[in-house]
Chain A
Amino acid sequence: MDKLKENQIIEDLLPQKFGKLGKIWVASLMGVCALGAYAYGRQLYYGLEVTSMRDYVSWGIYISNFVFFVAISLVGSLITAVLRLTNVKWSTPLTRIAEIIAVSAITFASLIIIVDMGRPERFYNLFIHGRLQSPIIWDVIVITTYFFISLLLLYFPLLPDLKIMIGYKERNRRWLHQFYVFLGAHWKDKPAQFKITHKAINILAISIIPVAFSIHTVTSWLFATTYRPGWDSTNFGAYFISGAFLVGAGGVVVAMYVFRKHYKLQKYITYDHFDRMGKVLVMLALLYLYFNINEFLVPAFKMKKSEEEHLLGLFTGEFAPLFWFAIFTAMFIPIMILLFPKGRRPFPAFIAGLLVVVGSWFKRYLIVTPTLLHPFLPMHDVPASYHHYFPSWEEWSIALASLAGALLVITFFARIFPIIPIHETILETESHENEKHF
């Protein structure tokens, strides 16, 4: 491949400074984060009393947000590992997007779980008094493992790109240049280095699959290991995993569209990518729908007394509007859009992805809260406010701030590093051209 073309790719893909819109975006995310920090300050001072959680609904949107984050982080393993190992080539430009979503989501999953703790300052007790029989400890172990594997899967493919960016010293501020040097100065583009990185990435890609399955299965077990109607289900692991891949893939489609539009990456994230990701989304939505039918139809067929109140609350009762909203926005409508080739164009696919993500967030809320409002013994001998749950402004601000924080991490990452792997794109283009020559 000629040098000119290579330079063009590098020029296109090098990180760009924030434009006006970018600055507004960052400022508003920071504003949300600041509000969340203030709300958390209040929570630390007054205790969890500032939330709307009480003795019956003892887990609220912090926990459903945690489940959401863990779910969306699974996409890292889907795109970088599953598609890589099955030799799917088209997903190369999407790997870094998926991996940064994974890293940032899993980071905020850990943070939001600390926010939910009554005594966050005793977090270290998990390490000095930890008991292996508690599913929380399993979660701590697998989430930590997943975080580090994801971080490495983000870092190793970044090394050749770091070398390229170090080469453009004059374009960057001193501190940024030094940061690149710190991260990547040991990379010399030697064949031995490529060989060992390639091997390392393969090992990581294989090992992240069971770990990814573990993080979300264990998260589902936080609920399924209890006796409560709505949680006491053997379907929960698979139900959570399928939902996680769906929301993660939805998130990637949304990110693809945004990056493509604002960084002018039309040449690299093409119609073809949206078409293929759209098909992946349809498949995942159908899979999730299948597990939803399992999860609700079977107990609804029997209508055991303990389940009845919970199920009717979802189907026709208090939670029905939200329940059907989540089912339609996370599954039915995206399927309807993406089944048609026209629906798999960038903009409609983006809308479908957005619907999946929003619907999935509310779906997590419906998994956590309604169950807690239907205990085995009727709610009794508590203040009237304990019988209902609607998140307080502090909870909303903190939950939104965690989402904003995750988006900020992704935004800053894309500001500092190429969001589409430069080196791999060059390689892909080369191999494409070679194919043409033969």
Chain B
Amino acid sequence: MKTTQNTRRDFLATTLMASAALAACNSKNPFTAEEIPDVQPSGKMVKLLSVDGEIIEVDSAFLKPVPELPSVMNTEAREGITGKKFVMVIDLSKCKSVKKCQTACNHMHHIHPGQNWIKVYPMQEAEHTAPYWQPTTCMHCDEPPCVKVCPVDATFKRKDGIVLIDSDRCIGCRFCMAACPYSTRVFNWEQPVLEKEIADKPYSCETSVPQKKGTVGKCDFCPDMVRQGNLPHCVSACPNGVFMFGDLLEDTVTNGAETFRFSELIKDKAGYRLMEDLGTKPSVYYLPPVNRNFPFVNEEKKA
């Protein structure tokens, strides 16, 4: 048993070193010998799931973050992920406007200060009805009015249901902003203030980074995270599990802590979509604000 473990450990160590060497190839001089760090096993073991589905144990000292996966080609980003239909469920009974979703989203997408892709609205339908918080993302409509009006195909609908923007193509006419009934789109009125490292990156439709002057931006459902098997930033940032993300074809959604069967969740809790009457067919579902976890306190109004 011990021998197998050792070989596995050795194998992993070599792989890690090899990947380090590969990473070194990207630096300026590919012929400089990579300095192999003198790693001593710490004795602290961690269990991991290998790519072929085996559970393996690795000494934590050998763990090294994998360099960021290169983003997909523009053509692939326009296609989308085959066999998926992404949906989001937002549970209004759990939201107390902590706005961690917004902060995480703004941070990860380097959004201009003051602007937000996720907005958390204080809602009250009528005088005597209950107030509640309603976070909105892009609805990723199946009949997207924004895509309909875009004159240059800069905003497009993918086969996995996500609506994205190609900021390298957008002409900045803002027709999509006028067309969107959910006011989800924002415009880069000035040169985005970005660190040079970020600003110099080639634009990717899937990360929506870097935002470009004179073009439109909006929530993208974080397809880059989804491709890596992670949840969108808002979902993982929410401390109250308000956001659930998943695949309609798999019929599952998760907020990271709990996983639900989408159809049952919507049935049990009477899920609905915003402005159904407009026929936009959003991919974002809401669970009504019943049996709420928190009282509604509007700090913004007090301030």
Are the C-beta atoms of B175 and A222 separated by less than 8 Å?
yes
Q: How far is the CA of A222 from the CA of B216 in the complex (A)?
A: 18
Cβ of B231: which chain A residues have Cβ within 8 Å of it?
none
Are the C-beta atoms of B121 and A380 separated by less than 8 Å?
yes
Q: A48-B189, A130-B152 are in contact. Are A377 and B121 (CB under 8 A)?
A: yes
Question: A117 interface residue, CB < 8 Å from B?
Answer: yes
A-B pairs under 8 A by CB, number: 136
Residue of A nearest to B166 (CB): A129
Are the C-beta atoms of A125 and B182 separated by less than 8 Å?
no
Pick from A123, A134, A376, A379: contact of B150, CB under 8 Å: A134
Pick from A48, A55, A222, A227: contact of B185, CB under 8 Å: A55
Cβ of A130: which chain B residues have Cβ within 8 Å of it?
151-152
Pick from B152, B178, B215: contact of A129, CB under 8 Å: B152
Q: A377-B182, A377-B183 are in contact. Are A118 and B188 (CB under 8 A)?
A: yes
Cβ of A131: which chain B residues have Cβ within 8 Å of it?
150-153
Question: A31 interface residue, CB < 8 Å from B?
Answer: no
Question: B179 interface residue, CB < 8 Å from A?
Answer: yes
Q: A227-B181, A377-B183, A382-B116 are in contact. Are A126 and B190 (CB under 8 A)?
A: no
The winner among B148, B170, B181, B183 for most chain A CB atoms within 10 A is B183
Q: How far is the CA of A223 from the CA of B175 in the complex (A)?
A: 9
Please, what's the 1-or-0 string for A23-41, where 1 marks a CB less than 8 Å from any CB in chain B? 0000000000000000000
A387 shortest CB reach to chain B, Å: 12
Question: B12 interface residue, CB < 8 Å from A?
Answer: no
Are the C-beta atoms of B213 and A47 separated by less than 8 Å?
yes
A304 shortest CB reach to chain B, Å: 12
Question: B120 interface residue, CB < 8 Å from A?
Answer: yes
Pick from B114, B188, B191, B278: contact of A227, CB under 8 Å: B278
Q: How far is the CA of A407 from the CA of B120 in the complex (A)?
A: 48
Are the C-beta atoms of A129 and B102 separated by less than 8 Å?
no
Question: B110 interface residue, CB < 8 Å from A?
Answer: no
Are the C-beta atoms of B152 and A126 separated by less than 8 Å?
yes
Are the C-beta atoms of A380 and B119 separated by less than 8 Å?
yes
Are the C-beta atoms of B171 and A125 separated by less than 8 Å?
yes
Are the C-beta atoms of A134 and B174 separated by less than 8 Å?
no
Q: How far is the CA of A256 from the CA of B157 in the complex (A)?
A: 52
Cβ of B289: which chain A residues have Cβ within 8 Å of it?
none
Cβ of B20: which chain A residues have Cβ within 8 Å of it?
none
Cβ of B164: which chain A residues have Cβ within 8 Å of it?
none
Q: A48-B189, A381-B102 are in contact. Are A134 and B181 (CB under 8 A)?
A: no
Are the C-beta atoms of A59 and B174 separated by less than 8 Å?
yes
Please, what's the 1-or-0 string for B96-122, where 1 marks a CB less than 8 Å from any CB in chain A? 000000100000000000111001111
Are the C-beta atoms of A123 and B182 separated by less than 8 Å?
no
Cβ of B154: which chain A residues have Cβ within 8 Å of it?
125, 129
Are the C-beta atoms of A119 and B181 separated by less than 8 Å?
no
Q: How far is the CA of A222 from the CA of B177 in the complex (A)?
A: 12
Question: B297 interface residue, CB < 8 Å from A?
Answer: no
Question: A320 interface residue, CB < 8 Å from B?
Answer: no
Are the C-beta atoms of A133 and B148 separated by less than 8 Å?
yes
Are the C-beta atoms of B190 and A119 separated by less than 8 Å?
no
Q: How far is the CA of A47 from the CA of B191 in the complex (A)?
A: 7
Question: B239 interface residue, CB < 8 Å from A?
Answer: no
Cβ of A227: which chain B residues have Cβ within 8 Å of it?
145, 179, 181, 278
Q: A117-B172, A226-B179, A383-B114 are in contact. Are A136 and B190 (CB under 8 A)?
A: no
Question: B275 interface residue, CB < 8 Å from A?
Answer: yes
Question: B198 interface residue, CB < 8 Å from A?
Answer: no
Are the C-beta atoms of B153 and A129 separated by less than 8 Å?
yes
Are the C-beta atoms of A135 and B149 separated by less than 8 Å?
yes
Interface residues of B, count at CB 8 A: 43
Q: A116-B173, A122-B171 are in contact. Are A59 and B178 (CB under 8 A)?
A: yes
Question: A74 interface residue, CB < 8 Å from B?
Answer: no
Are the C-beta atoms of A56 and B150 separated by less than 8 Å?
no
Are the C-beta atoms of A226 and B178 separated by less than 8 Å?
yes
Question: B169 interface residue, CB < 8 Å from A?
Answer: yes
List CB contacts (< 8 Å) of B232-258 with chain A.
none
Are the C-beta atoms of A118 and B214 separated by less than 8 Å?
yes
Residue of B nearest to A386 (CB): B114
Question: A372 interface residue, CB < 8 Å from B?
Answer: yes
Please, what's the 1-or-0 string for A50-63, where 1 marks a CB less than 8 Å from any CB in chain B? 01011110110000
Residue of B nearest to A376 (CB): B181
B234 shortest CB reach to chain A, Å: 14
Are the C-beta atoms of A125 and B169 separated by less than 8 Å?
yes
Question: B285 interface residue, CB < 8 Å from A?
Answer: no
Are the C-beta atoms of A225 and B179 separated by less than 8 Å?
yes
A136 shortest CB reach to chain B, Å: 4
Cβ of B177: which chain A residues have Cβ within 8 Å of it?
55, 58
List CB contacts (< 8 Å) of B127-180 with chain A.
136, 145, 148-154, 169-175, 177-179
Pick from A129, A140, A372: contact of B169, CB under 8 Å: A129
Are the C-beta atoms of A58 and B278 separated by less than 8 Å?
no
Residue of A nearest to B175 (CB): A136
A-B contacts, 22 of them at CB < 8 A, read A47-B189, A49-B190, A51-B189, A55-B186, A59-B174, A116-B174, A119-B215, A125-B171, A130-B151, A133-B148, A134-B148, A136-B151, A137-B151, A225-B148, A227-B145, A227-B179, A227-B181, A228-B178, A375-B183, A380-B120, A381-B102, A381-B120
Known: A55-B186, A129-B154. 6 other contacts (CB 8 A): A47-B190, A59-B174, A117-B173, A130-B151, A226-B149, A226-B179
